[in-house]
Structures are given as C-alpha cells and as structure tokens.
Amino acid sequence: MIAPFVYWLTAFILLGLACLFYPDSRWRANLRRAMLIFVSSFVFWALVYSIGVQGRISRSTPVIDSDRAEVMLKLGTAFNVLEKGWLQRGRDAFSSPKSKDASAKKFQQEARKILRDSINENPESAELRAKLAILLYDFGDAKNSAEATTLLNELVHRRDQKDQLLGKALLQVYGLSKLSAEDELKLQTVLESRLQKGWYRDAAELQLFSVVEDKPRYEQLHSRLEDKAAGMLLNAVYLIVFAIAAGLIGLIVIAVQLFLFGGRRAAAEEDSQWRSGPDWNLKTVYIVFVSWLGTQIACGSLIQWATKAGGLASYGPLAVAVSTAASYAFSNLPALFYIYWFACRPLNVKYKESIRLVAHSGKLGPVSLVFTGLATWCAAIPVVALACWLGSKLLGAQGSSNPIISLVLDAARSSNSGAILLFFLTLGVLAPLCEESLFRGFLYGSLRKRFGVGISLLVSASLFAAAHLDPGAVVPLLCLGLVFGYVFERTRSLVPSMIAHGLWNSGSFSIMLLVFGS
C-alpha cells in the first residue's frame, strides 16, 4: 500500500510545481484541471480500497474490543471489593471464583461475550486469545479452564515465535505443577513484554505469584489491585455525578434555546449577515475538500508506515504520542492552508474574518463566547447520550472503532505525563482548530449563503461524521456536528464551537485516564 502513496506524492509535487511556475497561463490552467482530476481519482481509489479491500472499517478492532471487556472486568472487580469490604483484604477476595458476588460474575460473563465475538471477527489475533484464556481461567470451573487450555494450545502451535512464547508462558502459569523462583522471573518478563498494563496482566501475575507461593509479592499486588478497584469505583461515582449535573445544565440550555429564543424574529437579519460574507462557489469548496482528503490519506499513511517500520512503539508512549501528533498535524493542518490558498487569496479576503474566527460577534464579546462554548458542551452531553442509545438499539452500533483510541488508551495506562499532555494538545486544541475551521467556518459558511440553515447544518454535520471513517460512532458524530453547527449559526463565531469541541475531546480523554490510568 505504501508504494502508490509514494508515486502519488511524487506526481502531486511535480504537477504542483508545474502549475505554479509554467510560463504559459493557458497551459497552467489545463495543468490545474489535470491536477484536480488526478487528486479526485486518488481520493476515490483510496477510500474504496480502505473500505472494500482491507475491510478494516467494517470489522471491529481487537484492541478496542479487549479494552471494552477490560472495563467490564474492572467494574466487576470493583463491585466485588465493595461487596466484600475494602478493608477486609484476604487472598480469596480477588482470586477465588466462589467469593465473587453476582454483579462481578455478570460483568465477567459480558466481558467473555465481547472477547468471543471479537475472536470470531479477528481469528488471527493472538492477543485476544490470550486475554480470553486468562478470563476463562479466572472463572475457576473445569469447563472454562478446558476452553482456555485449548486457546493457548492453538497459540503454542503457531508459526510466530512470540505467540508460541506467550501461549507456553500462560500454560505454565495456569498449570498444576509448581514453579521455581527462576521460572517466576522468566514468566513475569514474558507477561510484561506481551501483555499491556491492565486487568489481564494483573490477573496473570497474581496467579503466577500464587503458583510459586511468593506470598509477599502476591499480597502486595492483591492490595494494589483492591486499591485501584476502589479508586476506579470512586472515580466512576464522581464522573456520573458530574455528567448528570452537566447534562441537566445542558437540558436547560436546550430548553432555553427551543422555547425562549427559538423564534424567527431575526431570521431576515441573520440571513443578510450570512450573505455579506465572501462568495465561494461549490467548485471552490470541492477543491479545498478533495485537496485536504488527498493530503490526509497520503501523509497519514506514510507516517503510520514510517512509525511501524521504525518500531517507534517500542520506544514508549511518548514516542507514540509524538508520532500521533505529527500524523494529525501533517494530515489536517494543510486544510487551513487550502482554505486560504484556494478560497481567500483569489477573492483577497482576510482569513480569520472569512471563516468567522472572531472574538467579537454582534453583542457577544470574548467572555460571552467562552461561556457559550461551555454551555454548548453541556448541551452536547444529553444529545450524544440519546444518540448513542438510539444507535445501539436501532442500528446495533457498538461504539467507536477509531484506531487512535488504542493509542490514547496506551498513554492513559502508562501515566506518562509527556504523552498525556501531548494527547491533550492534539485532541483538545489541534483537532478543534482544524475541524471547526474546515467543517463549520468554511463548509457551513459556504452552504449557508445558498441553502439556508437546515440543509447547511445537515450536509456539514454529515460530512463531519463521514470524514472520521468510524461507522460505530457515526450517529453521535452527526449529532455533535449538528450541535456545533447550531451554535455557529446562532453566534456567527467559531470560538464557541471550538471550545465545545475541545472540551468534548479532552473530556473523553479524561474519562479514559480515570478508567485506565495507573
């Protein structure tokens, strides 16, 4: 897949230079048409290839599935600790299936279902098989243990030596024979290298310390797991209370907008203000978007290939965060340049004013716009919550499958402050700047001059959702796009939607830190 991108970039650079410096103006115009056709065909081919050939968009992601199951297992552990009493710490409180309450077992069963379904869709994933085996052993009955042994034996007979090593290590950990201190060190090294931080590794290490009868390390890990479970449960309570409070504020904001200020008393005035902006035709809009998509596909794929080829993930979460930030910057920041180059420059209009990136809009000053952004974020909470529920009930949506989620979760688990800060900047600052400028400031502003509020909101929000290539989250993304577009329509400033977008992304990352952070 990497070779076509190299060829495309080479041709793109040559055509671009020819368009800029070819002396004959007539030929230069023909070259620009040829370049537009070339970029359009490349974008079409790349999207069809991604959806049809690779099939990665329609299939669940193993890492995300195992993380969903891990949330269930952590909740089960937390409820088990709560049931037994946090201060009554004994060996059986965590490891013995007989000591688990009904809530913990239900969470375990749900996690088992998630992992089994994911293995059916990703039969080659060694990580999923190992994690399901650990969970099955934790049930403690003969039937589940037999299934776990079968899964690990399949890993042992694979060609990949790393898969074999992991399968053999887990079979030893959960075997009946005693292990020596030397075996303990070797097996723990394998577990730490092949299993990421979290419930699965903790459960396997707890079993290892139990088999080798390393009571001090067992009790230390067991105590730490109970502390983490109780802490996560407390974080969940805080999160629920905060979400309910913010959601109630959001409902009040929605009610105020619908029933007090939802009339059309200023419709004519608002339409005239939108029409006073720069007059971009649909061809210009298409050129900006197809140029951005072409750059995003090519640069994003090249950086991902370079990251894998260079083994950047082995250098730790900070290196992965730097790679992710660079990938996003090189893929999406050019969109701001394309808006200027193809839209603003020919009409000789100022960039910030053309996309309404202004700190004053009518009677609204900077403080009012900031508070409007906060209110918009609150209003998005009940809207997206309802959208997620409807998506799961009517469409069977299982949530987001965006690959960046797995990278964000790894940063949360590592608790690396540099990686966490970089992800906050990427998700909370860079993403809103690029996406709001493109989809609201440029696209919505262009459509609004011609088609009115309804069509402009629907089209801009739909393209915003589709551009994420995340079918499991398309309904919530569509609703977010509608909310951000609505506040842009009412304020005629990008500041509130940018703030709401940044708070939404940052809030989602903060939730991951509360659940998966160590």
Taking only the tens place, the pLDDT of each residue in 350-365 is 999 889 999 988 888 9
3-class DSSP state for residue 445?
helix
- C-alpha 197/C-alpha 274 separation (Å) is 52
253 contact partners, CB below 8 Å, separation of at least 6: 375, 376, 378, 379
The DSSP result for 111-178, as a single string, is: HHHHHHHHHHH-TT-HHHHHHHHHHHHHH-SHHHHHHHHHHHHHHHTSS-HHHHHHHHHHHHHTSSS-
Q: What is the mean pLDDT of residues 499-507?
A: 95
The pTM of this model reads 0.84
The answer to whether the CB of 133 falls within 8 A of the CB of 163 is: no
pLDDT at residue number 504: 95
The DSSP result for 279-309, as a single string, is: ---HHHHHHHHHHHHHHHHHHHHHHHHHHHH
pLDDT at residue number 195: 85
Pick the more confident residue, 287 or 27: 287
- C-alpha 165/C-alpha 190 separation (Å) is 8
The answer to whether the CB of 148 falls within 8 A of the CB of 133 is: yes
* Residue pLDDT, tens place only, 423-473: 899 999 999 999 999 999 999 989 988 888 889 999 999 999 988 877 778
Q: What is the mean pLDDT of residues 396-415?
A: 70
- C-alpha 439/C-alpha 467 separation (Å) is 10
Q: What is the mean pLDDT of residues 381-392?
A: 88
- Give the CA angle between residues 60, 65, 66 to the nearest 5°: 145
3-class DSSP state for residue 87?
coil
435 closest CA partner among 468, 407, 471, 399: 468
Pick the more confident residue, 308 or 210: 210
* Residue pLDDT, tens place only, 212-228: 888 888 889 888 887 88
- C-alpha 159/C-alpha 163 separation (Å) is 8
The answer to whether the CB of 148 falls within 8 A of the CB of 137 is: yes
Residue 63 has pLDDT above 70, yes or no: no
pLDDT at residue number 95: 43
The ranges assigned to domains in the chain are 2-54, 62-232, 280-516
3-class DSSP state for residue 437?
helix
- C-alpha 172/C-alpha 192 separation (Å) is 15
The answer to whether the CB of 403 falls within 8 A of the CB of 321 is: no
The letter for the amino acid at 373 is: G
Hey, what are 446's tokens?
A: 């262009």
Residue 171 CB-half CA count within 13 A: 17
pLDDT at residue number 294: 84
Residue 22 has pLDDT above 70, yes or no: no
pLDDT at residue number 464: 94
The letter for the amino acid at 329 is: A
Element (H, E) at 89: none
Q: Mark out the alpha helices in 348-403 (DSSP H runs).
A: 351-354, 366-394
Residue 517 CB-half CA count within 13 A: 17
Residue 60 has pLDDT above 60, yes or no: no
Hey, what are 164's tokens?
A: 């074999």
456 contact partners, CB below 8 Å, separation of at least 6: 444, 447, 448, 485
The answer to whether the CB of 93 falls within 8 A of the CB of 99 is: yes
Mean pLDDT of the chain: 81
pLDDT at residue number 234: 83
The letter for the amino acid at 513 is: L
* Residue pLDDT, tens place only, 314-325: 667 788 888 888
- C-alpha 261/C-alpha 259 separation (Å) is 6
Q: What is the mean pLDDT of residues 337-356?
A: 90
Pick the more confident residue, 270 or 490: 490
Hey, what are 465's tokens?
A: 């959702």
pLDDT at residue number 310: 67
